[in-house]
Amino acid sequence: MFPILLFDNNLNDFTIIVGAFFSLLIISLISGLLATLILPEKWVFTVTRGGLFISLLITVLGGIWPMIGRFYPKEYKSTDIFKRSMAIEGLFEWLGLLCLILLIEIFARQSEFCEYIVSLGKSLLILHSIPFYPFECFGGKRIWNYSKILSIITIVISIGMLYLF
């Protein structure tokens, strides 16, 4: 179910997997950046808060776990507008991954590289939608804090992607 955790391949596959993985992270980063450009808050990019232990543990066990960065607002507020801004940033990252997966699945799934993008992307899509620890660092909690219904929709679509493609 989570091919991102399985990392037992030869050197050729390794380079293709790493390239696909970084492509997904770059799409996620660019999508988050686009969100921050349209939102009123001032944002800063930094490594995700927490999660280093889990990343190291899974790596030691022979897998790979993304230790990613995120955009964080410079100033936190407790308003509904602020929660919406946080959710929009998380949702943009999720939508960027969803769009990339759908585009490749529909138009360009002829190479091993594209197959890895779809496979790894579906896993990242699920991770980006889960709103509780240790997955909250991917942005799912931002969506959950703003709208439970929207969060459930992202979870259902993410799980559906596993079975559709």
What does the pLDDT look like over 12-64, one tens digit per residue?
Answer: 677 888 888 888 988 988 998 999 999 888 988 887 666 666 666 666 666 66
pTM of the full structure:
0.80
Asked whether residue 79 carries a pLDDT value surpassing 50, the answer given is yes
Q: Give me the pLDDT at residue 4, please.
A: 46
Q: Mean pLDDT over residues 85-97, rounded?
A: 91
Q: Helix and strand tally (H, E) in the chain?
A: 6, 2
Asked whether residue 72 carries a pLDDT value surpassing 90, the answer given is no
Strands (E), 7-133: 43-47, 69-73
Q: Mean pLDDT over residues 76-101, rounded?
A: 90
Within 8 A by CB and 6+ apart from 132, the residues are: 140, 141
92: pLDDT confidence band, cut at 50, 70 and 90? very high
Q: Give me the pLDDT at residue 136, please.
A: 77
Collapsed DSSP state (helix, strand, coil) of residue 73: strand
Number of domains composing the chain: 1
Domain span at residue 156 reads 3-164
Reading the block at residue 59, the tokens are 């790596």
Please state, in angstroms and rounded to a whole number, the distance separating the CA atoms of residues 104 and 28: 15
